[in-house]
A = this chain, B = another copy of it.
C-alpha cells in the first residue's frame, strides 16, 4: 500500500496537471511533473508504477488521462463532503477556506456547542453539536475536521467517531490517536513552527 508521502506527491502531480490543463497541454513527461513537485523524475515514475500507471518513453503521459487516473486514486471523482467541529477563529477560517470548493472538497456544515455561534442559514450552516450524528448519517458523510480547543479534542474525537466518521483531520493543538478502524491525521501548527525553527538554526550553524 502507498504511504503518506507517496499520496502527498500524487496530490502535487495532480495539482500540476490541473495547471497544465489550463495551459492546454496535451502531453507531459515525468521530468515536468518532477520539477513541479520538487522530486526526481525517477520518483514520479516509481509512484505511478505503484498504481499501474505507465507512460510512453517518447510520448510521455496524456494529461487528461493521467489527471483522471490520479483523481480516481485520490477519490476526487465525486465531491467529498466534510463536517467541521468547532467554529472558533481557526474553524471559521476553515469554514470559508476558498481552496476547498475548487478542488472538489466541501464542508457540509460546522458544529458547535456554543449557541451564540449557531447559524443554521449560513453557507455552510453552523449547527448544534448534538445534531452531528443525525446529520452525518443522513448525508452519508465519513470525514471530519476537528478545530476545537486542546482540552476538548479527545472527547470530541470520541463523539465524532461514534457518529460514524471514519477519517479526521485534527487542528486542535494536541496529537490525537486513532482507534482501530479510523484514520486521524494531525496538523499541529506549533510542531510545524518548531520544525522550521530547528532547520533554520541548523542551516545558520552550517550543519
Contact = CB atoms under 8 A, between A and B. Distances in A.
B187 A80 contact: no
A3 to B, nearest CB: 10
A159 interface: no
A50 interface: no
A185 interface: yes
B12 A175 contact: yes
Please state the number of chain copies in the assembly: 2
Interface string A12-45: 1011000000000000000000001110000000
Contacts of A203: 166, 181, 183
A195 B8 contact: yes
Nearest to A181: B203
A57 interface: no
A190 B105 contact: yes
Interface in A182-207: 183, 185, 187-204, 207
